[in-house]
Amino acid sequence: MTRDPLIRAWGWLVALSLAGALITRAPDVTGLAVVILGLAFAKAWLILHHYLGLAGAPSWRRGFDMVVAGFCLLLAALALLA
């Protein structure tokens, strides 16, 4: 296993993408919208923290985390209302 955090982050992104692809193969995806949004949030977190370097800027990281989490929560609420 590599010690490079970008390679590990890339591996997690691939794994989360495969998990999302497998979930969407289910016959009834409407109930899984929240799970898919959770996967999307995890991928956004990985990209923001590792590839954009926000791990070294705590205040920016916190702000971006709150915006992305709020957007995902809004989408999850809309998916559950539908």
The percent of residues in the chain predicted with pLDDT above 70, rounded, is: 96
pTM, two decimal places: 0.84
Per-residue b or e along 35-73, where b marks 16 or more CB atoms closer than 10 Å to that residue's CB: ebbebbbbbbbbebbbeeebeeeeeebeebbeebeeebe
Which pLDDT score, from 0 to 100, does residue 1 have?
A: 64
Compute the mean pLDDT over every residue in the chain, rounded to the nearest whole number.
Answer: 90
Model confidence pLDDT, tens digit, residues 10-50: 999 999 999 999 988 878 766 788 889 999 999 999 999 99
Which pLDDT score, from 0 to 100, does residue 30 have?
A: 66
Which pLDDT score, from 0 to 100, does residue 66 have?
A: 95
3-state secondary structure at position 2: coil
